[in-house]
Amino acid sequence: MSNTAYANNHDYYIYFQHIASGIIATFKAFITDFDDQYTSDWNDVKVYGRMDPISTFQGTSRVINFSFDVIAEDVEEALINFENSRRLIQCLYPVYEEIGAGNFSATSIQAPPLMKIRFANLIQGGLGSTIDGGLVGKLDGVSYKPEFEAGVFEKTGDGQILPKLNRFSCNFTVFHTDKLGFS
């Protein structure tokens, strides 16, 4: 079974969606590292005569750090991977308001680069089998590293080189949009 058939049969894809623009980047999920961190924040105040501080709960945050490889079996898949890589990197930027005929300004941000991400049962929000079931948040960073030692495809005619293997690392801060905790 090819890796595409396996990914299709199990829906092992990582979906990234730039919320403001609707742009989606999709990758077959070859997860190489995954770390899902939950942190509870408390405000501790030490008072006279108490051994323990008075602790006031502030909130819980969640950060997911994950890495994945994007592998191309042929030049067509390498082109698709290259386009999805370009889209993902583009999604790190905000949407700017047009201030004139085709003119944009860095001071005219219309929408921040909020993202939805979904991967199987490890990165998901509400129920659903599409990106709509993804978690909302911000990508604090993406590391994109073409692995040239694995080889490249050369697209004839336009001089493009397309890596057979790309490595990504992402830091994603989750914004809690679902009901959490206890009723």
pLDDT tens-digit map of 69-127: 999 999 999 999 999 999 999 999 998 877 777 676 767 788 999 999 999 889 988 65
pLDDT at 12: 86
When pLDDT is cut at 50, 70 and 90, the band that residue 131 belongs to is low
Q: What is the DSSP string of the chain?
A: --HHHHHHHHT-EEEEEETTT--EEEEE-EEEEEEEEEEEEEEEE--TT-SSPEEEEEEEEEEEEEEEEEE-SSHHHHHHHHHHHHHHHHTTS-EEEEEETTEEEEEEEEE---EEEEETTTB--SS-SSGGGSEEEEEEEEEEEE-GGG-EEEETTTTEEEESEEEEEEEEEEP--S--S--
* Residue 121 backbone phi and psi in degrees, to 5: -95, 0
Judge whether 173 and 63 are in contact, CB under 8 Å: yes
Structure tokens at 14: 């990582």
Query: Of 40, 34, 60, whose CA–CA distance to 120 is shortest?
Result: 34
State if pTM tops 0.95.
no
Q: What is the mean pLDDT of the chain?
A: 88
Residue 31 burial (CB count, 10 A): 15
Q: Residues, the chain, total? A: 183
pLDDT at 145: 96
Query: 80-89: string of b/e by CB count within 10 Å (b at 16+)?
Result: bbbebbebbe
Higher pLDDT, 169 or 133: 169
Quick check: 142 pLDDT over 80? Answer: yes
pLDDT at 179: 73
The stretch 57-72 carries a mean pLDDT of: 95
Quick check: 160 pLDDT over 50? Answer: yes
Q: List, in order of start, the domains of the chain with CATH numbers.
A: 3-174 (2.40.30)
pLDDT tens-digit map of 6-36: 777 777 899 999 999 999 999 998 999 999 9
Q: Which residue has the tokens 């042929």?
A: 74
